[in-house]
Structure 1
Amino acid sequence: MSVLFRQVRLLDRAAAEGLSPPCDVHVEGPRIAAVGTELAAKGARLVEGHGKLLLPGLINAHFHSPVNHMKGRLDSLPLELFMLYESPALETLRPGPREAYIRTLLACAEMLRGGVTSVQDDAFFLPDPTPDIIDAVMQAYADSGMRVNLALDEPELAELDKLPFLRELMPAAARAGLETARDTGFLMEAYQHLISRWHGTQGGRLRAAVSCSAPQRVSPRYMRALDDISRALDVPYFAHMLETKLQRVLGEERLGGRSLIRYAADEGLLSARLNIIHAIWVDGADLDLVASAGSTIAHNPISNLRLGSGVMPFRAIRARGIPICLGTDEAIADDAVNMWAVAKMAGLIHNITTPDPNEWPKAWEVLDCLFTGGARAMGLADDLGAVEPGRLADLTLVDLETLPFTPLNDTARQLVYCEDGRSVVATMVAGDFVFEAGRCTRIDEAALIAEARELFARRRPALELAASEAGRLRPWYEAMVGRAAARDVGMNRWVSA
């Protein structure tokens, strides 16, 4: 497809109001062919851009699709308690392929409507990542038109080996099912299926990534095997690190006083391909290691608030030149898949960590995380994140003649603090419009919503059963979290009097 955006505005940090003069952008096939004035493109579809802002497509750099149907189901709880209810490996929760497809497509529709063109899905499949479920999720992304990096977020070690204190807190009779490790061979076969069946398909729009979930949840051998795949394919590697204070305490208890980042560095895991998810309970030594390796940190501020995990040290990370990308995390921990809300929270939450306003994030910094940081995290730094010739035509068209931009005072600030997705009029991925005129072009949203409501209403008894099982274990997990919370770890990432 050939498309000519006529007389659009682009972001320009040096210009008045943060906008370039009106210009033309020519898209030919999957890439931007030219940016200029009075461009000619014979046979191209003309898109009138007067009063419109053409942005790089928004990038949701960290997401878990398999619980997209559970938004609003849980009270706010610390991560370790939250996961009891969110992801128990119960046979009753095993999805069918259609369920996996529908719950993924729900998220795609929400993201495309908000101008999100790319997502990194760190998908955990319960109780197992079987080929039919992997295929269902990837087919949803294929059908929606989105760009995706998908990894299999699968812990390998037994539950009691992943957490501190729990084994000593729980009586032997209560440990059933918590002392069994996963079959590493089965997990590697699942990756082989993902890569051989899907990696690089749809013109490169669908790609595999790898995930160890978190270093403390897998063996060093499996962690390194995934890094071998990441290196060979040059794809991102996802690892949750130091999301909670308990994870900081775990290093003291299990890793000889090393933080999880120090441990990952000692195992050779840190690299420019690594996405470190959350990085809240980090210290300066951790960040020096991350900066030296060139890894990216994925910031999920709404999820961090929902779970009470703490506030990531944004300024200390930026000061070291570490790339930051933004993510929603799963819909059950954000209760939406809205990157505009994430950007706004990233621009606000750090303001209560210091009285010095010079240390607070500026709107352009947040946009840099959203676009440039997201492109870097995806391993597509030269292809995404900017409206320039040669880049992939993953674009978001925003109407500036709407309430969030009226009056127009400063485009960057109004994008971060005022916009909520209502001004997005079109979303393009690889040169194709996947959202325009108020509808997703490849998704029958009315049929999708109707089927999802019926399907997940039938699922409710299984979810209630899972919640009941979680309640049985909760007292010991609460004791574990309480013990970790009381430990002095030499830092505080909670906002408290």
Structure 2
Amino acid sequence: MTLPDDLDQQVITGEDKLLLPGFVNGHTHSSQVWQRGLIPQLPLELWLANVFDSTPRQLEQFYWGAVSTAVDTLLSGGTCLMDHAYLIPGQERETVEALVRGYREVGIRAVIAPLIQDLPFASGFPKGCLLPQSASSRSAAEWLALMEALIDEFHAPDEGIYIGLGPTGFHRCSDELLTGCAELGDRHQLCYHTHLLETRTQHRLAQERYGISAVQHLYNLGCLGPRTSLAHGVWIDEADISLLASTGATLVHNPVSNLRLGSGVAPILKCLQAGLNVSFGCDGAASNDAQNLLEAIKLGTILHTVSDSDYEHWLTPEGALHLATVGGAKGVNLGDRTGSLTPGMDADLVLYNLDHPSMLPRTNPLQLLVLGRPTQVVDAVWVQGRLRVAGGQVQTVDTHALYRALRQQPLNPETGRSQHHSVESHYRSVMLNASAGE
């Protein structure tokens, strides 16, 4: 493993411990920490109406959201995350600066891919949903110019801070923005991260808009490749899977939020059988209510036993850990730096306590970690060779200050309800009736 030059050699006693590479949280939205427990169980399109109206508007909230997400990630075995980050309108640069400050202080490896779109909210619905049309805050050209500036200022790989390209998805982005992000990513060799076919609604919209699948459309635009990671992919078919696999792209599996929102179950076993790289994500806390990677990995391991009766196809604990480490690192374009215990790789390491009651009796520690209910089992974490967690406690930030900040909850539980009711009538009349007829 590669250690920083300024660190002295350390001898770590590994008795009664399990050493693994750090996990990667391949998809989250850090500002949603403030919306944890706020939004009821709703399908994505109704849920979004609540999320947009209750998104934080203060820079300090974004800073604490980054700190909270990073702390939860470290304490559940993660050393890297992909933040598909909301930006405060009119304060986009300052928002990224607040996120960078939070991640640097905690000391986690973070890819920040600003969540950008140049089409209005209503564009994410099929024909027949007569929702108010509101203009985007910026054109595609303006977003791309901003992204170029953010890359120049904040992209710092040696410090573990990366800027990615994060168009929301085909449903709320013009082709100009989608291809512009791909070209910018190619120029700077950055990760391209976007939502893909999370719901039946998006599947139907792609057919209406393009006459082909969303995957085929993104392929035609030149947006798919080894640096592309796609969140969800619940509504992809076998042709989509084959095409994605041929490009070297990554599908980020978010089992908790997919079930929380009723989106469906992604065909992960078929993806793996086709050779498509898969990683795990928590998604944001507004659709997960937590940021626990071990929970996402467990659910993502056992969820698919009901979709394929051939148990030889099922995902094993060892296979799940491969997705969480090697698969996750590839998905954030860091496969040459992290994800495995290999000479020459950065020292992104997690030490688990095998003496914790949830890891007893001494049977199969990997199976207990993945399929059990491990709590407080992370003993130590190193990111780029620097100690971030020791004795189960984060060493880099004052977690008591974090929890005090989170107790000062500024969001109103009724926020967003007026827009929710506006969207609900159209959603029920158009989408639910369409679903019933399929």
User: What TM-score do the two structures reach when normalised by structure 2?
Assistant: 0.94
Q: Distance in 2 between matches of 1:376 and 1:30?
A: 25
Q: What code does the residue aligned with 2:67 have?
A: L
Q: 1:382 aligns with which of 332, 336, 352?
A: 336
TM-superposed deviation, 1:180: 5.2
Q: Distance in 2 between matches of 1:448 and 1:357?
A: 44
2:163 paired with 1:208: yes
Q: Distance in 1 between matches of 2:252 and 2:405?
A: 33
Q: Distance in 2 between matches of 1:241 and 1:112?
A: 27
Q: Distance in 2 between matches of 1:327 and 1:73?
A: 21
Match of 1:142 in 2: 104
Q: 1:193 aligns with which of 143, 149, 152?
A: 149
Aligned residues of 1:63 and 1:120 also touching (Cα < 8 A): yes
Q: What code does the residue aligned with 1:387 have?
A: L
Structure 1 residues 339, 465: CA separation in 2 closer, same or farther (over 3 Å shift)? Answer: closer
Match of 1:223 in 2: 178
Q: Distance in 2 between matches of 1:311 and 1:429?
A: 33
- Superposed counterparts of 1:29-40, under 5 Å: 29=4
Post-superposition CA distance 1:366-401 (Å, at most 9, x none): 111111100110111121111122111111000112
- Superposed counterparts of 1:364-375, under 5 Å: 364-375=318-329
Post-superposition CA distance 1:5-47 (Å, at most 9, x none): xxxxxxxxxxxxxxxxxxxxx763279xxxxxxxxx9x53322
2:203 paired with 1:241: no
2:33 paired with 1:68: yes
Q: What code does the residue aligned with 1:478 have?
A: R
TM-superposed deviation, 1:487: 4.8
Q: Distance in 2 between matches of 1:235 and 1:179?
A: 28
Alignment RMSD, CA only? 2.1
TM-superposed deviation, 1:467: 2.8
Q: What code does the residue aligned with 1:293 have?
A: T
Match of 1:28 in 2: 3
Q: Distance in 2 between matches of 1:361 and 1:232?
A: 36
TM-superposed deviation, 1:437: 2.2
Structure 2 gaps, min length 5:
none
Q: What code does the residue aligned with 1:112 have?
A: L
Match of 1:56 in 2: 21
Structure 1 gaps, min length 5:
1-25, 32-40, 489-497
Q: What code does the residue aligned with 1:330 have?
A: G
TM-superposed deviation, 1:469: 3.1
Q: Distance in 2 between matches of 1:339 and 1:249?
A: 31
2:209 paired with 1:254: yes
2:252 paired with 1:298: yes
- Tell me the secondary structure at the aligned position of residue 153 of structure 1: strand
Match of 2:294 in 1: 340
Aligned residues of 1:145 and 1:429 also touching (Cα < 8 A): yes
Residues matched between the structures, number = 438
Match of 1:460 in 2: 411
Q: Distance in 2 between matches of 1:327 and 1:143?
A: 23
Match of 2:285 in 1: 331
Q: Distance in 1 between matches of 2:192 and 2:71?
A: 26
Structure 1 residues 261, 313: CA separation in 2 closer, same or farther (over 3 Å shift)? Answer: same
Q: Distance in 1 between matches of 2:106 and 2:5?
A: 16
Structure number with larger C-alpha Rg = 1
Q: What code does the residue aligned with 2:421 have?
A: G
Aligned residues of 1:113 and 1:421 also touching (Cα < 8 A): no
2:82 paired with 1:104: no
Match of 1:119 in 2: 81
Q: Distance in 1 between matches of 2:285 and 2:305?
A: 25
- Superposed counterparts of 1:392-407, under 5 Å: 392-407=346-361
Q: What code does the residue aligned with 2:151 have?
A: I
Aligned residues of 2:378 and 2:392 also touching (Cα < 8 A): no
- Tell me the secondary structure at the aligned position of residue 250 of structure 1: helix
Post-superposition CA distance 1:213-242 (Å, at most 9, x none): 111211111111101111112111012111
- Tell me the secondary structure at the aligned position of residue 291 of structure 2: coil
TM-superposed deviation, 1:82: 0.8
Match of 1:22 in 2: none
- Superposed counterparts of 1:126-205, under 5 Å: 126-127=88-89, 130-165=92-127, 168-170=128-130, 175=132, 177-178=133-134, 182-200=138-156, 203-205=158-160
Structure 1 residues 337, 46: CA separation in 2 closer, same or farther (over 3 Å shift)? Answer: same
Runs (4+) off by over 4 Å = none
TM-superposed deviation, 1:478: 2.9
Structure 1 residues 128, 30: CA separation in 2 closer, same or farther (over 3 Å shift)? Answer: farther
2:396 paired with 1:442: yes
TM-superposed deviation, 1:419: 4.7
Q: What code does the residue aligned with 1:131 have?
A: R
